[in-house]
Amino acid sequence: MNNAYLERAKERIPDPQILSVVAAKRARQLALGARPMIKCDSSQVLDVALLEIAEGLLSYEFGDEVPAAEEKAAGTAETAEGESNEAEKQE
């Protein structure tokens, strides 16, 4: 791993845990045949991934996750509303 690429990537993604996940996922994509978005002197997929991050070509975002308890409660409320609407239609 090229330490210069790592230091540059840390400027874009300062959290080491997030950086490692993003770089690892991109390195895996490259290892499986994805095309690099940048020319890199190194043939190591991790170096290419770090350089892509450093150049701002890769980023990350967190999805909107709903905890399971809230999701279950929301589903129950929708079911109850649906049943009451059907009862009103039958009357």
Tokens at 21, concatenated: 């996940």
pLDDT in tens, the chain (91 residues): 889 999 999 999 999 999 999 999 999 999 999 999 999 888 899 999 999 999 999 888 887 765 655 555 555 555 555 555 555 555 5
Specify whether the CB–CB gap between 36 and 30 falls below 8 A. yes
Could you tell me the two tokens for 39? 């020319």
Residue 66, CA distances (Å) to 25, 61, 77, 79 in order: 24, 16, 15, 18
DSSP one-letter code for 43:
-
The predicted model scores a pTM of: 0.66
Q: Taking the domains of the chain in order of start, what are their residue ranges?
A: 3-64
Task: Quote the CA–CA distance of 3 and 7 in Å, as a whole number.
Answer: 6
Q: Domain spanning 3-64: which superfamily?
A: RNA polymerase subunit, RPB6/omega (3.90.940.10)
